[in-house]
Structure 1
Amino acid sequence: MREYLLTILVAALVAYLLTPTVRRFAVWFGAQAVPRDRDVHVIPTPRLGGLAMFGGMVAALIVASGLPEMRKYLGDGEVDVGRALLMSGGLIVLIGMADDRWEVDALTKFAGQVAAGGIFIMQGIQIYALPLPTGEPLTLAPAYGVPLTVFIVVATINAVNFIDGLDGLAAGVVGIAALALFIYAYLLSKSHGMTTLSGATLTAAILFGMCAGFLPHNFSPAKIFMGDTGSMLIGLLLSASTIMLTGRFDPAVLAGGLFPFYVPLLLVPAVAAVPFTDMLLAVWRRTNQGRSPFAPDKRHLHHRLLELGHSTRRAVLIMYFWVGLLGSGLIALAVFKEALITLLATLVVALGGMLLMLATPWRRRRRNGAAERGAPAGGSDRPADRPSMPV
């Protein structure tokens, strides 16, 4: 655990300290987000925050390579995790920087994402097998494993990119997803007497540290955006950890049956259910209107939360809540034996969260309506002409 805590700390600290410098560079470089009709921010805000996150990743990899026990897992056998992350991450960062400055077309970005997936495959990061209910994994030939790997990489990158629309949203959601992957891999390895050191767990730890270090600068009101440089990078690392975790645990040594074996395939869709759902709804909505699926609009899930009356911060925290609930519930099902209790507890928390999410804007609208009529709402002693406190 000490090795992981050190890499998390290094990734977070370097990303946090580099961000102000990157912000000044983004202003000089001309990479700023000018407010548009569909945007929430109202003033030009520097982008390229992903450059600081990349710096955190590089620093964490350097530190990890200096740890004797961790070094062998960065380049273990046919899988060279360190080289894969540096090469594919570097490519994605270059494409993202160009897009944040000059707005690269969607086809070029797609080609870069496919190339990043190809680098993973060249370095040994690939889906080689899928679990089956019979207990025997299905070995995938390269004709199936290669396109499946590239699909996971491209889909995860674009899902993260789609949700990057509110201050701190993408960094927080992906940070929670990375933490869920890290906890799952670490606890399951430890409970079954396996080594807790692996490239997949290290990647999740580094990703969590990067997001944690950048988030203080990016939370509402954001001083800098991660841009496509950051959203594509963290999506890339999230897909890498997922791919490496798939098939890591042999069903024969797992006391919990096959379910823990499926968790890597289920965990990212679960914790990324919000961005994936948003992406699918956006594609369906735009194609239904005869528009390109990449055409921007202002009907994302976070825009709908704002329309309900939630503030920017509260909308982001709501998304954090649902992602965290899905991730923690799935991990609990994989690690603990009391499945029924876990499901009931998750359901109770979900219902409570739903009630709070709907009740808060209702109370706010009721209070504002009473203020417009000149009478306090619900016996409140606040003057009717006093503006509501932001939430």
Structure 2
Amino acid sequence: MYIIATAVTAFVFAFIAIKFFNPVAIEIGLVDKPSERKQHAGHIPLIGGISIFLAVLAASLLWLPDTLELRMYLIASAMMVFIGALDDKFDLRVRIRIVGQIIIASLMIYGVGGYISNLGDLFGLGDVTLGPFGIIFTYIGIIVVINAYNMIDGIDGLIGSLSINTFTSIAILFIMSGQTNYISYPLVLATATLPYLMFNLGLFKKLFNKNTQKIFMGDAGSMFVGLSVIWLLIMGTQGEQASFRPVTALWICAIPLMDMLAIVVRRYRNGKSPFKPDRDHLHHILQRVGLTSQKALLVISFASVLMSIFGVVGEYFNIADTVMLIAFIFMFICYVSTIKHLIKNEST
């Protein structure tokens, strides 16, 4: 029963936070302004992430057990949202954002001892254990996932849809493993994201004929989502109470990871900074070859759901880690080849 209460509380608090902070964001200039790279009409409040975090905070304090892990997660999340909000307002340098992410990663690693020490039986020779290198690997993993979700946020509804898909998939994996104590964590994140998605896509206006202000997630939100994803993945795949295998984690956040890896390599080959913003993400390419933003959203979201289903099914039937890893690498090669084909068609 408390699971339902937690989810309802998160949804209601997120909705209230959006309505409250909307005029505040406009008043203090926490808005996204149109530019050559950001093609939208008007100044859009960047309060999606703040509303989601506050909803998760309220629901967690009211309903979830008070544990060290939860307290450290909420502290780390508050820091992540604060840094992201500063970035939304003042456009921080990449170096400052990365330093902030490293500090936050340290809270997770040393605050609760949560780090990636076991990658599973990836090569059919037994579990790959990382030992002390696991801490370095975890730092890299946290920074990669945070920035993968940050980079994918480029069209209406995309970060919201992908994050809900990821959180829901993690909840299903917890249910499959019998770890019912953990289900509330991804569910509260998913339900807290729903109001943002409805405002972002204008669904309240379409459903209830209400003239509501569109909002964006902002870096505060996308980095908070990435932090939450990697926290849940570490919690779900490591330790004696692990609920699913590390290789499964690749599948349930496949699209953000593939998009980031592909674009970082492409930027590096072109002599650009991996963190320099551009319009060469998957959603931008789909739009340039003729898809509307709505169709691009549907295509990417559908692909993300399919990959998550493959990961969940693979976990359910205990398909060998090696097979799951090879399939993921094959899918990434297909992804890169498709992007190259689309870019080639775009230039002809």
Normalising by the residue count of structure 2, what TM-score does the alignment of the two structures yield?
0.82
- Report what 1:46 is aligned to: 45
Distance 1:6 1:296, change over 3 A: same
How many percent of aligned residue pairs carry the same amino acid? 28
Q: Deviations over 1:65-119 (max 9, x none)?
A: 3xxxxx2xx52xxxx2211111100111111111111111101100111111111
Letter in 2 for 1:96: G
Q: Distance in 1 between matches of 2:229 and 2:168?
A: 10
| 2:327 counterpart residue number | none
* Structure 2 CA distance for aligned equivalents of residues 131 and 289 of structure 1: 35
Trace 1:255-334 onto structure 2 (pairs within 5 A): 261-262=244-245, 265-334=246-315
- Of 77, 80, 85 in structure 2, the residue corresponding to residue 89 of structure 1 is 77
Aligned AA (1:103): D
Indicate which of 208, 231, 243 corresponds to 1:240.
231
Pick closer, same or farther for the CA change 1:203–1:125 going to 2, 3 Å. Answer: farther
Task: Call closer, same or farther: CA 1:139–1:303 in 2, change over 3 Å.
Answer: closer
The corresponding residue for 2:220 is: 229
Task: State the shift of 1:271 in Å.
Answer: 2.8
CA contact (8 A) 1:11 1:213 kept: no
Deviations 1:290-343 (A, max 9, x none): 22111111111101111232221221121111111111122123225899xxx9
Partners in 2 of 1:289 and 1:247 — Cα distance? Answer: 37
Task: List structure 1 segments (4+ residues) > 4 angstroms apart after TM superposition.
Answer: 133-140, 248-251, 336-339
Which residue identity lines up with residue 209 of structure 1 in the other structure? T
Letter of the 1:127 counterpart: I
**Alignment correspondent of 1:114:** 102
Could you tell me whether the CA contact under 8 Å between 1:27 and 1:46 is conserved in 2? Answer: yes
Paired letter, 1:276: L
Unaligned runs of 5+ in 1: 66-70, 190-194, 252-259, 344-349, 351-391
Partner residue in 2 for 1:377: none
Normalising to structure 1: TM-score of the pair? 0.74
Structure 1: distance between partners of 2:304 and 2:272: 30
CA deviation after TM superposition for structure 1 residue 165, in Å: 0.4
Aligned to 2:142: 153
Closer, same or farther in 2 for the Cα pair 1:250/1:82, shift >3 Å? closer
User: How many residues are paired up?
Assistant: 314
Q: Which amino acid aligns with 1:165?
A: G
Secondary structure in 2 matching 1:126: coil
